[in-house]
Amino acid sequence: MKPAANRLSLWLLLTPFLLWIVLLVLLPHLQMLRVSLQVRESWDTLEWGLQQYQNFFTESYYWRTFLRTGAMSLFTTFLTLIIAFPIAWYIARLARGRSKSVLFLACLIPFWASELVRTYGWMILLRESGLFSSWLQALGWVDGPVEMLYNDVAVIIGLVYNALLFMVVPLVTTLDGMDENLVEAGYDLGGGHGTVLREIVVPWAMPGIVSGCIVVFMLTLGSYLTPVLMGGKDSAWFTQQIFTQFITRFNWEQGAALGVLLLVLSSVIVWLGLKVSGQSLRKVMG
Amino acid sequence: MIRSVPRSRLFDGLYLAYLVAFFVYLALPLLVTAAFAFNDSPFPSLPWKGFTLDWYLADGSAGRTGLFHDDGLLRSLWVSGKIAFWVTLFSVALGCVNAVLFERLQFRGKEFLYVLMLLPLVIPGVILGVSILVFYSGMANDASAAWGIELDLFRPGLTLVVMGQVTFIATLSTLVIAARLRKFDPQLEEAALNLGATPLVAWFTVTLPWLLPSIFGAAAMAFLMSFENFNTTVMLTGSDTPLTVALFNRLREGSTPVLNAVALLLMVLSALLAMLVIKRPRS
């Protein structure tokens, strides 16, 4: 093809991409940043200022929720990794033939239901009039109804449940490609289970671990339904505050500032995860 | 702990118990939700009072309104369907174009643009929704205040919801289609060109058929993701509430087995859709 035709086809293909990225991602986020730096003096005058960010640091309710959300998301990510690893290992290395694909598909089944449906299922199980409470009473282990919903443990159970798929799939993919001779060599050279796991398996699975952890952390940090519906009065989630500012209080400036802060937190942690493990976004996501 | 390394009976037993516990944990909430769609009691909880189809079929005359007579839910189902249709169309079209752009062409700044393409995946869904709301709805407000022009298109509503969802679903469909295009042998296309086909004909008769399975896969995924999305949608929705938002509002008022009926219907529909994609013969 001639260079001119080449140029033309490049621009034809580049235009939709640029429209999408610029109009739906870059401009809206820049505008959000701009709005977060504007202070409303009266109903129609705006000034540049850091008022909204000051509010965040002076109102302990904001930054406490922020830290809590971050810490609980990290914990959920860690827990999901610990729970998912043996399952991924079994599917990738121990199961064979048909049972392998059946088990893998079984991991996907819960995700044919939306997050709302999954959360609702947990509510039916855990609440005071729920199944677990009824079963415990039927067994005679407790005297009256037990409330297991509306606390942090319930929130974590729900968050881990929502996140599992996004951990199991990348782990299975990387573990599947591992050469078993490496593991055998590790044992032959006198390594115990712990040594082999630490020196051979984990380094090999690192790309999968990192990509699973990043996706899970992101999803958990940005989740709304599970913490709102399963959490108690004191377990506010940061997305909930953003929602309140925008929808209930119509305070877009404050909401935008909180949004920027959430975005910064998630970007920093994702970036740190990539740096510490020596991976790149392209390798992990693409 | 691979097959060739001997393991103790105890270890095997514990491992199996763990697997069973894991899959029970995965299945239990869904099974319970499905079962209570048929319980003959106004609350989705024990005791079991017998089997009924009221939560689907009751017409409101006996104090119960089943899903198929619940206009509010049916309307929101239709709204979700419309949104999912447009999101699927735009995401898959963008996915095809992007896949060709990144797999076939060489140009300066490609690496940088590729990272930009991945960006929507590492932005929380709520933020995607908020930023689009601030930009477009703010623009509509400003236009109205400054010039008296009403840009109703950019007020919270269907258009904004579609835009918000396309933002990240397009990235996912790009990744699905690009992965398939990477495995394509470019010599096939060259052969078509050597045999006298124009580039356009070669694309439609050789490359596109090869991509078709991934296009169907991406479409099914896009439809499901759009239908189930809540976080981005809730920020952008107007008076026409999509199903997930409508269900959320109902749930806050209190749970009834009608919600279980909707949930089960959704599970069955998405299972059918997933089955359709998996069962398609691979070419």
How many CB atoms within 10 Å of residue A10? Answer: 14
**Which pLDDT band holds residue B104 (cuts at 50, 70, 90)?**
confident
DSSP H stretches of helix in chain B: 9-35, 54-57, 71-104, 110-118, 125-132, 138-147, 158-182, 186-194, 199-202, 208-228, 231-236, 243-253, 257-279
Q: The tokens of A246 are what?
A: 């925008």
Considering only residues B3 and B193, tell me which one the structure prediction assigns the higher pLDDT.
B193
The verdict on a CB contact (< 8 Å) between A20 and B94 is yes
B-interface mutation test, from A31, A38, A114, A274, most B Cβ less than 10 A away: A114
Tell whether B255 lies on the interface with A, counting CB pairs under 8 A.
yes
Considering only residues 194 to 253 of chain B, which have any Cβ-Cβ distance to chain A shorter than 8 Å?
199, 224, 227-228, 230-231, 234-235, 244, 247-248, 251
Q: How far is B147 from chain A (nearest CA, A)?
A: 15
Residue B282 has pLDDT above 60, yes or no: no
- Give me the mean pLDDT over the B187-192 stretch: 86
pLDDT digits (tens, 9 = 90+) for A45-103: 777 878 888 888 888 888 888 999 999 999 999 999 999 999 988 888 887 778 888 88
Find all residues with CB under 8 Å of A192, minimum gap 6, and list them: none
The verdict on a CB contact (< 8 Å) between A184 and B22 is no
Cα A236 from Cα A256, distance rounded (Å): 18
- Give me the mean pLDDT over the A186-215 stretch: 82
Cα B52 from Cα B78, distance rounded (Å): 26
Mean pLDDT, chain A, whole residue set: 84
In chain B, which residue's Cα lies nearest the Cα of A92?
B2
- Give me the mean pLDDT over the B46-60 stretch: 70
Q: Nearest CA to B1 among A173, A182, A103, A167?
A: A182
When CB atoms are compared, the residue of B30, B120, B164 closest to A121 is B30
When CB atoms are compared, the residue of B2, B22, B199 closest to A87 is B22
The verdict on a CB contact (< 8 Å) between B25 and A134 is no
Residue A159 has pLDDT above 50, yes or no: yes
Q: Nearest CA to B172 among B127, B132, B125, B131?
A: B125
Q: How far is B204 from chain A (nearest CA, A)?
A: 16
In this predicted structure, what is the pLDDT of residue B283? 40
Residues of A in contact with B107 (CB under 8 A): 10, 14
- Give me the mean pLDDT over the B236-262 stretch: 84
CA–CA–CA angle B224, B229, B231 (5° rounding): 165
Cα B169 from Cα B121, distance rounded (Å): 9
Residues of B in contact with A114 (CB under 8 A): 227-228, 230, 244, 266
Mean pLDDT, chain B, whole residue set: 83
Residue B281 has pLDDT above 70, yes or no: no
The verdict on a CB contact (< 8 Å) between B93 and A16 is yes
Q: The tokens of A136 are what?
A: 């415990």
B-interface mutation test, from A32, A34, A107, A117, most B Cβ less than 10 A away: A117
Residues of B in contact with A131 (CB under 8 A): 32, 45-46
Q: Nearest CA to B167 among B214, B118, B238, B240?
A: B118
CA torsion angle A165 B85 B83 B207 (round to 10): 60
In this predicted structure, what is the pLDDT of residue B13? 87
Residues of B in contact with A93 (CB under 8 A): 1-3
The verdict on a CB contact (< 8 Å) between A16 and B115 is no
CB burial string A171-208: b at 16+ within 10 A, e below:
bbbbbeebeeeebeebbeeebeeeebbeebbeebbebb
Contact B251, B259 (CB under 8 A): yes
Q: Give me the CATH topology for the region A60-285.
A: MetI-like fold (1.10.3720)
pLDDT digits (tens, 9 = 90+) for A220-244: 998 888 888 888 777 788 888 888 8
Angstrom distances, CA of residue A244 to CA of A191, B222, B235, B239, B251: 55, 29, 11, 18, 18
Tell whether B126 lies on the interface with A, counting CB pairs under 8 A.
yes
**Which pLDDT band holds residue A204 (cuts at 50, 70, 90)?**
confident
In this predicted structure, what is the pLDDT of residue B61? 67
What CATH number matches the domain at B71-279, 3.40.980.10, 1.10.260.30, 3.40.50.1010, 1.10.3720.10? Answer: 1.10.3720.10
In chain A, which residue's Cα lies nearest the Cα of B123?
A263
DSSP H stretches of helix in A177-280: 180-188, 193-196, 202-221, 225-230, 238-243, 252-277
Q: Nearest CA to A238 among A92, A109, A67, A91?
A: A67
Q: How far is B138 from chain A (nearest CA, A)?
A: 9
- Looking at this predicted complex, what is its ipTM? 0.83
In chain B, which residue's Cα lies nearest the Cα of A134?
B46
Q: Is B270 helix (H, G, I), strand (E, B) or coil?
A: helix
Q: The tokens of B28 are what?
A: 């239990």
Cα A62 from Cα A2, distance rounded (Å): 59
- Give me the mean pLDDT over the B33-53 stretch: 74
Q: The tokens of B124 are what?
A: 């929380």
pLDDT digits (tens, 9 = 90+) for A20-38: 999 999 999 999 998 888 8
The verdict on a CB contact (< 8 Å) between B124 and A214 is no
The verdict on a CB contact (< 8 Å) between B118 and A286 is yes
The verdict on a CB contact (< 8 Å) between A32 and B115 is no
When CB atoms are compared, the residue of B22, B97, B136 closest to A13 is B97
Q: Which residues pair with A38 in a beta bridge?
A: A48
pLDDT digits (tens, 9 = 90+) for B212-233: 888 888 898 899 889 888 889 9
Least confident of A176-180, B99-103, B243-247: A176-180
Domain ranges of chain B: 71-279
The verdict on a CB contact (< 8 Å) between B29 and A221 is no
Q: Which residues pair with A47 in a beta bridge?
A: A39
In this predicted structure, what is the pLDDT of residue B163? 92
In this predicted structure, what is the pLDDT of residue A246? 85
Q: How far is A185 from chain B (nearest CA, A)?
A: 11
The verdict on a CB contact (< 8 Å) between A184 and B5 is yes
- Give me the mean pLDDT over the B24-42 stretch: 83
Residue B167 has pLDDT above 80, yes or no: yes
Cα A237 from Cα A67, distance rounded (Å): 10
Considering only residues A212 and B4, tell me which one the structure prediction assigns the higher pLDDT.
A212
Cα B46 from Cα B36, distance rounded (Å): 9
The verdict on a CB contact (< 8 Å) between B126 and A112 is no
The verdict on a CB contact (< 8 Å) between B166 and A24 is yes
The verdict on a CB contact (< 8 Å) between B134 and A31 is yes
A-interface mutation test, from B127, B228, B260, B272, most A Cβ less than 10 A away: B127
